[in-house]
Amino acid sequence: MPLPATALAELATIAARYPQARSGLLPMLHLVQASEGRITPEGIEACAEILGISAAEVSGVATFYTMYKRKPVGDYHVGVCTNTLCAVMGGDVIFERLKDHLDVGNDETTADGKITLEHVECNAACDYAPVMMVNWEFMDNMTPQSATQLVDDLREGNEVRSTRGPKICTWREAERVLAGFNDGLADEGPAAGPASLVGLEIARERGWTAPESGRRTAELAPPSSPEAAAEEADTSRAESETKVDESPADTKHVDNPAKGDEAK
């Protein structure tokens, strides 16, 4: 099936973000997946035509990167990190359990077309091991129980939220964001998960700062006790909240993050 006209137009928009159009190929292939649910021969042709290169060249790129899929992907791509750290901490057990539970092998999709299961490499979240990814959103500190619950919820259409992000969207919607079309969900989820903050919390408790740190911490006198530190940290947080409220926090996000680039 040829790509819809809107998708073709968007492919051209992506190429136009870059000083040299071919740099757009990776995000363009993400967009092909968003539109078609996988990398199709027609998608490859379309990219080749826009960039003025051969389909073989595009194909060579598409096959190099693991995020590009030749076979249709389910609504939810479920990744289990089985690189060493996560594997040892329980990722191997989780992956085995899910294969069993879903009755699929690695890189296979359930019969209902909902879930594609794959083991993935270190996803830069080792402090939350064992880690899973659903449509490339973080699912931190998993157990075999929470993992099976997660996939059951996904299959039943229950709302699932990333531990550090929004409600899970579909794989195709995720691919669209990776192509550079922001979905306006950046403000969902926390600033940081608990593990990201452990060192900072200890520093706050003990009144440790960088020397004469000019930003926020400089305004705090060294606290005498952990309680005092906590109190002061609370105050400063409250102050910063107030400031946030006063400023125009909800700047509009338009679809194309490289807008300024286009405008030039």
Which parts of 108-127 interact with another protein (CB under 8 A)?
A: 120-127
Q: Does 164 bind another protein (CB under 8 A)?
A: yes
Q: Which does 193 bind (CB under 5 to 8 A by kind): ligand FES, another protein, none?
A: another protein
Under the binding rule (CB under 6 A), the answer on residue 179 touching ligand FES is no
Among 12, 122, 220, 228, binds ligand FES (CB under 6 A): 122
Cα–Cα distance measured from residue 261 to residue 264, given in angstroms and rounded to the nearest whole number: 6
Is 160 a binding residue for another protein by CB under 8 A? The answer is: no
Q: Which of 129, 134, 147, 179 binds ligand FES (CB under 6 A)?
A: 129
Q: How many CB atoms lie within 10 A of CB 116?
A: 24
Q: Phi first, then psi: what are they for 138, rounded to 5°?
A: -70, 135
Shortest reach from residue 28's CB to ligand FES, in Å: 28
Of 123 and 149, the one with the shorter C-beta distance to another protein is: 123
Near ligand FES by CB under 6 A: residue from 23, 59, 83, 196: 83
CA distance 4 to 8: 6
Q: Which of 106, 126, 127 is nearest to 115 (CA)?
A: 106
Please give the order of strands across the beta sheet that includes 115-120.
Answer: 108-109, 115-120, 76-81, 132-134, 137-139
264 binds, among another protein, ligand FES, none (CB under 5 to 8 A by kind): another protein
Contacting residue, 31, 81, 98, 177, with ligand FES by CB under 6 A: 81
Residue 102 or 132: the one with the smaller Cβ distance to another protein is 132
**Secondary structure class of 77 (helix, strand, coil):** strand
Structure tokens at 220: 């705090």
Annotate 137-167 with b (16+ C-beta within 10 A) or e (fewer).
Answer: bbbbbbebeebbebbeebbeeeebebbbbee
**Can you tell me which of 11, 131, 132, 233 binds ligand FES, judged by CB under 6 A?**
131
Q: Which of the stretches 5-13, 27-35, 101-109, 153-161 binds another protein when contact is defined by CB under 8 A? A: 27-35
Q: How far is the CB of 97 from another protein (least distance, A)?
A: 8
Cβ within 8 Å of residue 74, ≥6 positions away: 109, 110, 113, 114, 115, 116, 171
* Residue 150 contacts ligand FES per CB under 6 A: no
Q: Which of 16, 67, 85, 220 binds ligand FES (CB under 6 A)?
A: 85
Two tokens, residue 71: 């076979």
What is the binding site for ligand FES (CB under 6 A)?
81, 83, 85-86, 122-123, 125-126, 129, 131
